[in-house]
Structure 1
Amino acid sequence: MKYGSIMLEKKEYVYIKRILNISGYVGDHEIQKSLAKFTEELKTAHILDEAEMPNDVVRLNSIVMVMSDNNWEKTIQIVQPSEKDIKKNKVSILTPMGAALFGYSLNDIIKWDFPTGLKELKIIEVTQQKQEKMLFY
């Protein structure tokens, strides 16, 4: 891991903690497992101000290209749950893929237990989109 632990911007961290508390009632066991692991990772995350955030860290609205250990590549955008749209490759932070990638950086290799089993992913590209105003409930 490039930075030693996952990296999060302060406002995104607060937002994610809030939505994880709300989403504790998700019915799907596999998603619950993934979100529990994500919650554990948040405990050791580096929390930074916006100006300090490295440009190669996966954040909300980041477009990320990943390659799996069985050589498929996929480009997705990590978004708030309300903006998810599989047809446009917009993946919610509350999905196993969104939780697996969030806070990691370019060239990091992530081992994550997906509903289809344990997978190893490598982040091969991170593009930052303009950080839109997040919906705080």
Structure 2
Amino acid sequence: MSRAFVKEGDGALDPLPDLPVSAHPNHVTPAGLAALQARLHEAQSRLSALKARPDRLDKLPEAAAERDIRYIEARLRTAILTDPAGFPLTEVAFGLVVTVADADGHETRFQITGEDEANAALGRITPQSPLARALLGAAVGDVVKWKKPSGIVELEILSIDHP
């Protein structure tokens, strides 16, 4: 095999491509900001531990940790802290917790949070989600229509609370 087209390097790894950053405004709750700061600290600690290894032949974990740090730092630079503690509970807004009931009377609680803290299993949804768009601005007693792929679901707003 000809060696003419084989790249020989110094063993260093090119930086991994950056993780995609959302084009939406980066609103965060105080808990979301603290979680981002904790993630940055963890990623920095992980990178330090990786660089302290006696055998550093595999540089990919270090490159991944550096990429994660770049992503988290970008999210922290663009974070718009929004504290819902002072918001009135008259309508659904970012950071507030809303309890809804479907047509069968099944109650569910949701909190509209930043993208980095969203977790559907915990009821935390992003402002860009179809559910959040249906809920934002609604008041207790309102019935909103949530457009899902399976059809439209009507939800009644039962309560709005601070987290």
Query: 1:60: how far off?
Result: 0.7
Q: Deviation string for 1:42-95 (max 9, x for gaps)? A: xxxxxxxx9xx6422111111110001232210111112222012322111111
Q: Point out where structure 2 has 5 or more consecutive residues left out of the alignment.
A: 1-22, 26-83
Cα separation, partners in 2 of 1:88 and 1:113, compared to 1, 3 Å: closer
Which of the residues 19, 31, 49 maps onto 2:24? 19
Structure 1 equivalent of residue 127 of structure 2: 93
Structure ID, larger Rg = 2
TM-score normalised per structure 2? 0.44
Note the 1:4-83 alignment, pairs <5 A.
19=24, 54-83=88-117
> What secondary structure, in the 3-state scheme, does the structure 2 residue paired with 1:19 have?
coil
Aligned residues: 82
> What secondary structure, in the 3-state scheme, does the structure 1 residue paired with 2:138 have?
coil
Query: 1:125: how far off?
Result: 0.7
Residues in 2 aligned to 1:92 and 1:117: alpha-carbon distance in whole angstroms: 20
Residues in 2 aligned to 1:75 and 1:54: alpha-carbon distance in whole angstroms: 18
Structure 2 equivalent of residue 127 of structure 1: 161
Percent of paired sites with the same residue: 25
Residues in 2 aligned to 1:118 and 1:87: alpha-carbon distance in whole angstroms: 21
Q: Deviation string for 1:76-133 (max 9, x for gaps)? A: 111122220123221111112111101111111112322221111100010024xxxx
Structure 2 equivalent of residue 132 of structure 1: none
- Matched AA of 2:146: W
Cα root mean square deviation, aligned:
2.4
Q: Point out where structure 1 has 5 or more consecutive residues left out of the alignment.
A: 1-17, 21-49, 130-137
TM-score normalised per structure 1? 0.52
Kept in 2, the 8 Å contact 1:56–1:127? The answer is no
> What secondary structure, in the 3-state scheme, does the structure 2 residue paired with 1:57 have?
coil
Residues in 2 aligned to 1:125 and 1:94: alpha-carbon distance in whole angstroms: 21
Structure 2 equivalent of residue 41 of structure 1: none
